[in-house]
Amino acid sequence: MSSMEAIDLEGGNHELSSASGSPQTSKPLKIALLGYRSKPFCGGQGIYIQFLSTALCDHGHQVDVISGPPYPNLDPRVRLIKIPSLELFEHFHWIPRTAPRNFLDSTNRFEYFSKLTGGFPEPETFGRRLVDYFKENGCKYDIVHDNQSLCYGLLELQQMDIPLVTTIHHPITRDRRIELESAKGPFSRLLVRRWHNFLTMQQKVVKKLNHVVTVSEHSRQDISEDFGRPTEQIELVYNGIDTSQFKPVKGVTRKPFRLMAMASADVPLKGLEYLLGALAILEKDYPSLDLLLVGKPKAGGPTEKLINKLGIADKIQFVSGISTEELVNYYAEATVAVTASLYEGFGLPIGEAMACGVPVVSSNGGALPEVVGNAGFIVPCGDEKSLAKAIAQLLDNPLLRQKMGDEGRARILETFSWSVAAVEMTRLYERVLNPATSLAKIEAPAPEAVSDIESILESDEVVLGNL
């Protein structure tokens, strides 16, 4: 297993079709982006809404975001249309603290009793309210673009002849599978199945959608396998990274033994237990080593218990609710950025670290190798010893860290920019609106099979295949 395999990618050539750098379209489009919850701290879906909407505005389009709470952070040019809900995941009480008249509404009743019994109703209830919104206000858009709600309401929009595109980041069936494998006992497995009950809806809806797009080749294969939609009916437009914000910071000194990772969700999928295990291995040889985790674990939850069991609480610092500027400064202080995730449909945090010039160690979960390419170490999922070994090689080799950081930044600039994503998405919109018009897809050159980093490692007699 080579930790820096070349990955064939699509979608990174930056030859745009006009001198201004904007794609040629018949006219600027009026676009509605949909999100059942869209705040960036909710995860990658919120980041997607924020930066794709901005990039589409940069290319001359008019963009509205129609979202349920928690609401997104948006560019001033983007109008936010709020679709309120009961917000039960932020303010749940066994005895409803809402006006009784609200329970005359069947959607509100469904939302409350679904949450009360352990379900996750937000995608479906967002879809119901969304249909009501369009029936009351009409469709004023050239195209409507859903961000993985995959709700029954989308099929109703299609029946209303509203041009619709849906992004699927990855099938949540993968999350469910990993959580079931980690669940302890029949009752825990029952709770996992109950919470993921919305997947029954999503699996039905995906097969009937007219236009589906995803963010990585790995996700395209997984969507086809788990949702039964042929791969040729799934378009591919890679996510971008905001390289204007995520970039190296001058004047910030790196902390020589600082590891950094994202812990946005305290769930088995993120593989945090393996990163903590690697830290416990490494701290014996690197007593000054510390780990900055961006996120907030559940009080008394599995992460907190494991940290105490391993005796590494003094080696870990959690930060949460930080701004993008603060996050970038933390990256500037980090010696190595790590993700041990068991599965990612894309992997925005590792891409952001690379954009900041931080050398990275990544698991091979899902699409992560597509993002890292040959510009970082890739180790097997669930292998804390391999993770520790890769981190140690970077801690011991300043020249390697510098080269890997430089190549990571260059890779993101070349292949994963939001500007390129907006160009490709616009071309997809045009194909949907004008199916007879053939618009060439943007193709990316495959990464070089051997990078400068590998040359350095060979000179230092490091065997990559043993990581």
pLDDT digits 0-9 by tens, 311-323: 999 999 999 888 8
Average pLDDT for the chain: 85
φ/ψ of 79, rounded to 5, equals: -85, 135
- Structure confidence by residue, pLDDT tens digits, 341-376: 998 988 889 999 999 999 999 999 999 999 999 999
Residue 160 lies in a domain: yes
**347 and 288 share one domain:** yes
Report yes or no on 436 lying in a domain. no
Residue by residue, DSSP assigns 130-176 as HHHHHHHH----SEEEEES---HHHHHHHHTT--EEEEESS-THHHH
Same domain, 79 and 138: yes
Is 53 contained in some domain?
A: yes
The tens digit of pLDDT for each residue in 37-59 reads 887 655 567 889 999 999 999 99
CATH number of the domain at 353, please: 3.40.50.2000
Residue-level pLDDT at 259:
97
Q: How confident is the model at residue 448 (pLDDT cuts 50, 70, 90)?
A: very low
Residue 6: the pLDDT is 30
Q: What is the pTM of this model?
A: 0.77
Residue 353 falls inside a structural domain: yes
Looking at residues 12-37, what average pLDDT do you find?
62
423, 12 Cβ separation under 8 angstroms = no
Provide the number of structural domains found in the chain. Answer: 2
pLDDT for position 312: 95
**Is 457 found in the same domain as 310?**
yes
Inform me whether the pLDDT recorded for 240 exceeds 50: yes
Which of 236, 271, 287 is the last residue before a domain boundary? 236
pLDDT of residue 460: 41
Q: How far is residue 149's CA from residue 126's CA, in Å, rounded to a whole number?
A: 8
Based on the fold, state whether residues 232 and 274 are members of the same structural domain.
Answer: no
State whether 120 and 52 are in the same domain: yes
Nearest 5°: the CA angle 10, 16, 20 is 150
* Burial track 211-250 (b if 16+ CB lie within 10 A, e otherwise): bbbbbbbbbbebbbebbebeeeebbbbbbbbbbeebbeee
Residue 25 lies in a domain: no
Range of 51's domain? 30-236
Residues 54, 154, single domain; the answer is yes
- For residue 8, pLDDT over 60 is answered with no
Question: Which of 347, 345, 343, 319 has its CA nearest to residue 331?
Answer: 319
Q: Which residue has the higher pLDDT, 23 or 120?
A: 120
For residues 163-167, give the mean pLDDT.
98
**What's the rounded Cα separation, in Å, for the pair 153 and 2?**
45
Record the tokens describing residue 395, joined without a space: 């801690």
Residue 98 lies in a domain: yes
Residue 81 and residue 212 in one domain = yes
In angstroms and rounded to an integer, the radius of gyration of the C-alpha atoms of the chain is 22
**Could you tell me if 222 and 262 lie in one domain?**
no
Which candidate, 272, 31, 279, places its Cα nearest to that of 142? 31
226 and 269 share one domain: no
401 neighbors 359 (Cβ within 8 angstroms): yes
Same domain? For 73 and 162 the reply is: yes
Q: Which helix (H) or strand (E) holds 370?
A: helix 368-372
Domain end position, chosen among 177, 203, 236: 236
> Same domain, yes or no, for 227 and 317?
no
In a domain, 364, yes or no: yes
- Domain closes at, from 236, 271, 293: 236
What per-residue confidence (pLDDT) applies to 263?
80
pLDDT level of residue 204 (50, 70, 90 thresholds): very high
> Domain for residue 249, yes or no?
no
pLDDT at 440: 43
Same domain, residue pair 211 and 306: no
| C-beta of residue 339 within 8 angstroms of C-beta of residue 368 | yes
pLDDT recorded at residue 241:
92
**CA distances (Å), origin 355, targets 234, 253, 351, 369, 413:** 28, 17, 6, 16, 7
428 CA to centre of own chain:
21
Q: Which residue has the higher pLDDT, 190 or 27?
A: 190
